[in-house]
A and B are shown apart, each in its own frame.
Chain A
Amino acid sequence: MRANFIFSEVWIGLRRNLTMTIAVIVTVAVGMALLGIGLMINSQVSSLTGYWTDKVELSVYLCTKNSSFPACRNRGATTEQEQATLKQTIQQMPDVERVEFEDQAQAYKNFQASESNRLLLSVTKVEDMPESFRVKLKDPDRAPAVADSLRGQPGVSNVVNQRELLQSVFGFMGKLRNMALGVAILMVFAATLLIGNTVRLSAYNRRRETGIMRLVGASNIYIQLPFVMEGLIAGLIGGVFAAVLLIITKILIFEGIQTYMAAPLGWNTVAGVITFTMVVGVVICVLASFITLRRYLRV
């Protein structure tokens, strides 16, 4: 096997079909980048889910003086007596791991830290903040049942399952991921057809050479290798572009939202995704070339 001979044939083939080769490279790059973004979102969602599953709590808000919640209507703020009873009730529930009380001062502090609206900050006073129990459960999946049973208790204004808040964020990211993966599948399909077409053109352009190669007894591998290599090189270049796109995505988008995400996407995940998409891209290109060759290059 003469490597430089094969490579010169490959080079001639790629140059003759330059426009098709570029089309293949672009399609593979976009397709693989989208596949990679889908995978990155996926890993971000699962790492976030894992992170938050440990931390989600039920917030059991208590009535304030002029609370507008239906449960607090026609009554004043939760009395100390009610608060103590409630604490005991919660502690005695089998699903509960621990309970913490958050008083108005603490709630106000947290509110100040998380809220950026100046007007809202200036009109909100410490007395407006609701007191609450932060309930940590042994099994986060039991949260809805616990929340339901606490909702009717006297002095409770509202029970918020933090997980439900996260669920909407996860749902949005899930849709984003499905969209990226869906478009990636379309792009892979388009890339396969494009490669098929490129190989067909290439086989037609080189029918003289391949005819002579057949005649003088070149082995099938020797005849087919330049075509498969064309697919491989196009796939590889496409993969490199996809890798660049993925790195840019990581820097511009994932690092941008990292402040809101407790579990940031690591570079090792990005490296894994890039490796995977490159392998997928190259395998698709090689397979597509090989299958088309069977049809257009009689050996």
Chain B
Amino acid sequence: MIHFDNVTKVYANQNRPALDHVSVDVDKGEFVFLVGPSGSGKSTFLRLVLKEERPNSGAIHVAGKDLARLSNFKVPHLRRRIGCVFQDFRLLPNKNVYENVAFALEVIGKPRRFIRKVVPEVIELVGLEGKAHRMPEELSGGEQQRVAMARAFVNRPMILLADEPTGNIDPATSIGIMKVLDRINRTGTTVLMATHDAAIVDSMRKRVVELEDGKIVRDQSRGVYGQAY
């Protein structure tokens, strides 16, 4: 599903590569934690998957597409197959829960009847039934992140990227967020989650890929956060 082959990324005006000859394979339906200290290259990895950045060398395949050969014109179509969740939720403050989720479908031109059918379903999936007409400011951080997950998942993407989704949320609420991610993963969606949260990684017992200074230092199935190198 995601295939990195010897990928190196150096940002302009920087000597040290953000990713240094990284090779990873993530299969369909896998749940993978991307761990490592700040600046280790986790976010760069996610940005490369979305083709927001281009690698300096190496090949990247996402959902069967060679990103180097994917024209800019087709990048939006790639992104429709990838859902994204962020630490800062990125909800639209002037739209309510329903409208925030529906927005993701409206802007890719889905018919209104389809939107009316699937948005309530996905709101229920993330555990926000009955709160469809609340505004984001009326919700807790955990609830806002659920809205963001609903928006990321409403188009049934093949891949869900989560960049520190529990970074702004207390540990108790984080468990609920992880349950939703797990539920999404069980529908067959590949989940790739970058995180600092050791407790969550330890409790989930999923595959762990650890980055340090742009290099993969550990790739362990059913791993924990802070194992010996």
Q: Does A276 contact B (CB under 8 A)?
A: no
Q: Does B21 contact A (CB under 8 A)?
A: no
Closest to A223 in B: B107
| A: contact size bracket | 10 to 19
Closest to B152 in A: A216
Q: Which residues of chain A in 211-252 are interfacial with respect to chain B, using CB atoms and an 8 Å cutoff? A: 211-220, 222-223
Partner pick for B79 among A1, A2, A216, CB 8 A cutoff? A216
Contact indicator A219/B92 (Cβ below 8 Å): no
Min Cβ gap A97→B in Å is 69
Question: CA A187 – CA B35 in complex, angstroms?
Answer: 57
Q: Which residues of chain B in 147-162 are interfacial with respect to chain A, using CB atoms and an 8 Å cutoff? A: 151, 155
Contact indicator B109/A216 (Cβ below 8 Å): no
Q: Which residues of A contact B77 (CB under 8 A)?
A: 217
Contact indicator B112/A2 (Cβ below 8 Å): yes
Given A2-B109, A222-B107, A222-B108: A216 touches B151 (CB 8 Å cut-off): yes
Question: CA A211 – CA B148 in complex, angstroms?
Answer: 14
Q: Does B84 contact A (CB under 8 A)?
A: yes
Q: Which residues of chain A in 182-216 are interfacial with respect to chain B, using CB atoms and an 8 Å cutoff? A: 208-209, 211-216
| B: contact size bracket | 20 to 34
Contact indicator A217/B108 (Cβ below 8 Å): yes
Closest to A208 in B: B92
Partner pick for A218 among B73, B76, B82, CB 8 A cutoff? B76
Contact indicator B92/A218 (Cβ below 8 Å): no
Interface string of A239-283 (1 = CB under 8 A from B): 000000000000000000000000000000000000000000000
Partner pick for B109 among A1, A211, A220, A223, CB 8 A cutoff? A1
Question: CA A135 – CA B77 in complex, angstroms?
Answer: 79
Interface residues of A (CB under 8 A from B): 1-2, 5, 208-209, 211-220, 222-223
Selected A-B contacts with CB under 8 Å, 27 pairs: A1-B109, A2-B112, A5-B106, A5-B107, A208-B90, A208-B92, A209-B92, A211-B90, A212-B90, A212-B92, A212-B103, A212-B107, A213-B107, A214-B79, A215-B84, A215-B90, A216-B84, A216-B103, A216-B107, A217-B76, A217-B79, A217-B80, A217-B155, A218-B107, A219-B76, A219-B108, A220-B76
